Structure 1
Amino acid sequence: MPQLHYKNLRQSMLRTFLFVFLIALTISVSAQSVADLDTKDGFRTYKFGMARKAIPNLKYGGIHPATKLPYYNKTDEKLSIGPYPLQSISYVFYKDRLHSVYLKVAASADNCQGVYDTLTRLYGESVNDEARWTHTWEGKKVFASFHKTILETAYIEFISLTMKKQIEADLEAKKRNAVNDM
């Protein structure tokens, strides 16, 4: 009789262990993180650093106010993220290489919340700055932010940290050259 009890206990413990292991495996497979932002390293099918000419159907849009760099819009762009409509998607370039992507969410509380929820599902929980209504995700290669306005519009930015460092290095070199020219 004691042997039977020991066998049942062992089977019960084994089942419990397997159950816990499978739960942990399921959570780790489905949990997303900011590392996924780095893995993507771009927006949709376009990678940061890729040549402007490699992205089809771009139309010059002007100088982007946040970056002071030229931006383009795709003439054949799907202006939505899933069921959530966007007003615009701007592709910003530095030295003709994709530097960042800016999205403007169509004005609606539901659209804003839906896009934010999508970002959270993709990249995990954000760092929240309540005072500025901004949520951020920062990887090693890509920075992303979601900023909601009082008018129920949201702005999303994806920025290549590699390209940002290139700009900073170029600006530093300009400063050194200016000093040397004195």
Structure 2
Amino acid sequence: MKKNILFLVLSIIPLFAQVKTEVKSEGPTIEEVIKYEGPKARIAVARFDVKAPKATWEMGDGIRDMIVDALFKTGKFIVVEKDAIKDLEEEFKFTQTGWSKKELEKGTFEVADIIVVGAITGFEPHTEGTSGGGIVIPTPFGIGIGVKKEEAYIQAVIRLIDVRTRRIINSTKVEGKSSKSKVGIAGGAGISGVILGGGFEKYKNTPTAEAVMIMIDNAVKEIAKMVPESYYRYGSKELEKTYKNQPDGFRGIKWGTSIEEIKNLKVVKEEGNQKECIKTDDVLQIGKAKIEKIIYSFYKDQLESVIIETKGKDNFENLKSATIEKFGESKNKSENEWIWEGEITTIYLKYYPTDEKGILKMVSEEMKKKIESETSF
């Protein structure tokens, strides 16, 4: 008789003593993302707000730290530190005291293009014990087999924000859910119906920890999927080779040239340290493309970028052809957008179908770093 009971228990345990996980996401697996070797996106992660009643503020910091670690390990992102800025500033100032051999150069801090913000909106940790949530499977031998199901759940809302424009690029919800079933023997008289109760042992790896890790896994996959292709433009071996005929300015005017040194300029817009000008003697044609206007942008009276505008689909196609002929095929492109990444000059070409408007923007990398270091944008 005892052998029969033991056999029955052992045959039922595998049906319940297992971990069940639910993945609420689509996209590449973490293993696929880790193998990534292409261009990277520059990203930072802010602290997560805590809006779930059963969650604590420490959990918000913990989720943030785990996502930072997970994003870094994918190899798909340049993760910029956000929380330790004060510590970095103190270390920077220390080099200016004369105690170190070399003073750090200003303007070397990188700024993220995207910030990940989020909030824990749902949290239900697993509970242990014999009360509630359990069932007892009756057997013909007057002994109930107690089955206790432990479930854990966590949910977060994640938003991606463009640092320069403050626009929300994308938003999504990620979840993690895990459940375990424990089996024990509940003694007692055999009665009709289900006998409540049961004995359970303590699990070392809890469903709560499992659910959190599932959510982190989902969050990384969703972030990688939501970041637009145009933001992946740093660090790839192809991009490091740059592009042909990389300019150091526009039409003989080098980046950083003082506004006073350029003739026939007319200021059309001024805001703070920024000025936009046109040249009254500019030739408004590039290749076969007729140009609407060419804007020279200055930061603290130094040339930092040039914007060229066209109207009409044919004009844009002519401008694109001239750009590709001059600088070669773009190594980083998406629909209606092309980017030539360089260590001296980065070129952005974009077409807006609704307005039939084309924009070619040439940006000085050195001036861009200067602006970022002085304005945090």
Give the structure-1-normalised TM-score. Answer: 0.68
1: CA distance, partners of 2:245 / 2:256: 18
2: CA distance, partners of 1:87 / 1:157: 14
The aligned residue for residue 360 of structure 2 is 156
What whole-Å deviation, never above 9, does each CA across 1:24-46 have from its counterpart, x for those lacking one?
A: xxxxxxxxx72422xx2111111
Task: Report how many aligned residue pairs link the two structures.
Answer: 133
Q: Residues 72 and 149 (structure 1 numbering): CA distance in 2 closer, same or farther, change over 3 Å?
A: same
Q: Does the 8 A contact of 1:51 with 1:98 survive in 2?
A: yes
Percent of aligned pairs sharing the same letter: 31
Q: Which amino acid aligns with 1:140?
A: E
2: CA distance, partners of 1:58 / 1:73: 6
Structure 2 portions without partners, runs of 5+: 1-241
Give 1:30-179 correspondences, 5 Å limit.
34-37=243-246, 40-63=247-270, 69-105=274-310, 107-126=311-330, 127-130=332-335, 133-150=336-353, 151-172=355-376
CA RMSD between the two structures: 1.9
Q: Which amino acid aligns with 1:88?
A: K
Structure number having the greater helix percentage: 1
Q: Does the 8 A contact of 2:257 with 2:303 survive in 1?
A: yes
- Higher Cα radius of gyration: 2
Structure 1 consecutive aligned stretches of length 4 or more whose deviation exceeds 2 Å:
none
Which structure has more relative contact order (CA 8 Å, sep 6+)? It is 1
Give the structure-2-normalised TM-score. Answer: 0.34
Structure 1 portions without partners, runs of 5+: 1-32, 173-182
2: CA distance, partners of 1:75 / 1:164: 26
In the TM superposition, what is the alpha-carbon distance from 1:159 to its structure 2 partner? 0.3
1: CA distance, partners of 2:314 / 2:249: 25
